[in-house]
Structure 1
Amino acid sequence: MEPADIVQLWSVRKTYRTAAHDVTALDGVTTGFRAGTFTAVMGPSGSGKSTLLHCAAGLDRPVAGKIVIDGVDLATLDENGLTMLRRERVGFVFQAFNLVSALTAEQNVSLPLRLAGRAIAPAEVRAALAEVNMGDRAGHRPSRLSGGEQQRVAIARALITRPAVVFADEPTGALDIKASRGVLGLLRGLVDGQGQTVVMVTHDPVVAAYADRVLFLADGRLVEEFTGDVDAESVAARMAGLESSAC
């Protein structure tokens, strides 16, 4: 049996009003993200890739269309309901690690549970850190961790609620090559080993090549996708074509 789509988008449209005119960031996007898959979202600057992630994650509401996460239609939820859904079913990893500087790695990972009012099992938090190879750094504050280590803690924090999907926005953008490879290998391992669903926005073809599938956006529309054995050279060539068309 084929795995179901954990996240589904139908004809999603998003516009932003500026002083001069309305800007269409997403223009009728329909797609889905299957359970246990790793998808990269790419496109030229202004193509709508970050808007797609924000709408798909329930961080921003579209002006038209339908978005479903783990069987829940986001349009049926008020702001409190959206907040609860994001806390319980969605994980987030950003380019800026967004760790609380005054808290240890262990305390940062347990923060989503505290915010949700859930009981915190220390063994569960330690297991989450061990999953990202940070078990021996549990008592360290962010200032004592490298960029790659901080991002690993951020990933553990994203996973602590056992979310249906993890959305990552340029998760390696602030890392050097070695740390970047480590984080991408970790995300790839979570998909392959645990069936985690990951949706990642990136501008880097090498980063995108870690995914099972690459979606290409241009002018707010889904224009192409690569699936299967994704390679960086093919992704780079397609991006070059989109960027030259955008000039």
Structure 2
Amino acid sequence: MTTSTDTVRLWSVTKQYGSGAQAVTALEGVTTIFSQGTFTAVMGPSGSGKSTLLHCAAGLDRVDDGKVVIDGTDLSGLNETELTLLRRERVGFVFQAFNLVSVLTAEQNVALPLRLAGRRPERGQLLAALGEVGLGSRGGHRPGELSGGEQQRVAIARALITRPAVLFADEPTGALDTKTSRDVLSLLRDIVDRHGQTVVMVTHDPAAATYADRVLLLADGRIADELRGRASVETIAARMAALEAVAC
């Protein structure tokens, strides 16, 4: 049963790649909930299914078995056009590589999701979105004129401009130095705390996971462990080390 606080829910999700003897099971029977206003870090050894979980939960990949529900909508009942529209309106994405359009200004990059949806963005709305991520005076700058941290902040503003039900972040600090990473993670934490945004972040970094209020640990395509509350770097690193030892 889905409740109003279940932003994303996975029921017994299984995902395979390939077929026959070459088939690889990336996820097997995964059931979990990402509740409204929570920040979840998804971790696990290489090949554990982290990215596949994010792709399935975001509707980027179709599941082979089970069910994914985003903001009350069962994805299995949607055709490709409907799925694209749902992702555009209800899902935000932030990636390690920023994925900004180099010839557009920060303001124009933030406006893109609205323009793709056929909506005319208001300049005040765009400036407010940039102000929310600390870049209110940088709207006229192109990506090449911004630091890596500033580019990721633009990407976050772009992801949030449609007011999505959930923001998925795939290694959002992977290309940033330690201080800049902390700034970006603090921004994500603040967005969760002040606006009740649901954030799901894939990361390999225990320090990044300390900003989340829940850490989901995967191994061999299954949920192997879960930490609730703001866990310490030492606790997260120890759990990760234990999973990696088993995987070796």
Q: TM-score range by the shorter chain?
A: over 0.9
1:69 and 2:70 equivalent? yes
Following the alignment from structure 1 to structure 2, what is the Cα–Cα distance between the partners of residues 148 and 213?
24
Partner of 1:236: 237
Partner of 1:47: 48
Following the alignment from structure 1 to structure 2, what is the Cα–Cα distance between the partners of residues 19 and 178?
47
Distance change (3 Å), C-alpha of 1:18 and 1:141: farther
- 4+ residue runs over 2 A deviation: none
Following the alignment from structure 2 to structure 1, what is the Cα–Cα distance between the partners of residues 157 and 77?
30
Partner of 1:224: 225
Q: CA deviation at 1:119?
A: 1.9
5+ residue gaps, structure 2, are: none
Distance change (3 Å), C-alpha of 1:29 and 1:167: same
Q: CA deviation at 1:230?
A: 1.1
Q: Percent identity?
A: 71
RMSD: 1.1
- Residues 37-68 of structure 1 deviation map (CA, whole Å, 9 limit, x = unaligned): 00000000000010000000000001000000
Give the residue type in structure 2 aligned to 1:10: W
1:78 and 2:90 equivalent? no
Equivalent residues in 2 for 1:1-247 (5 A)?
4-17=5-18, 21-247=22-248
5+ residue gaps, structure 1, are: none
Following the alignment from structure 1 to structure 2, what is the Cα–Cα distance between the partners of residues 89 and 182?
25
Following the alignment from structure 1 to structure 2, what is the Cα–Cα distance between the partners of residues 126 and 193?
19
Following the alignment from structure 1 to structure 2, what is the Cα–Cα distance between the partners of residues 19 and 144?
50
Paired residues of 2:135 and 2:150 also in contact (CA < 8 A)? yes
Q: CA deviation at 1:229?
A: 2.8
Following the alignment from structure 2 to structure 1, what is the Cα–Cα distance between the partners of residues 235 and 245?
16
TM-score, length of structure 1 as denominator length: 0.98
Q: Secondary structure at the match of 1:87?
A: helix
Following the alignment from structure 1 to structure 2, what is the Cα–Cα distance between the partners of residues 220 and 79?
26
TM-score, length of structure 2 as denominator length: 0.97
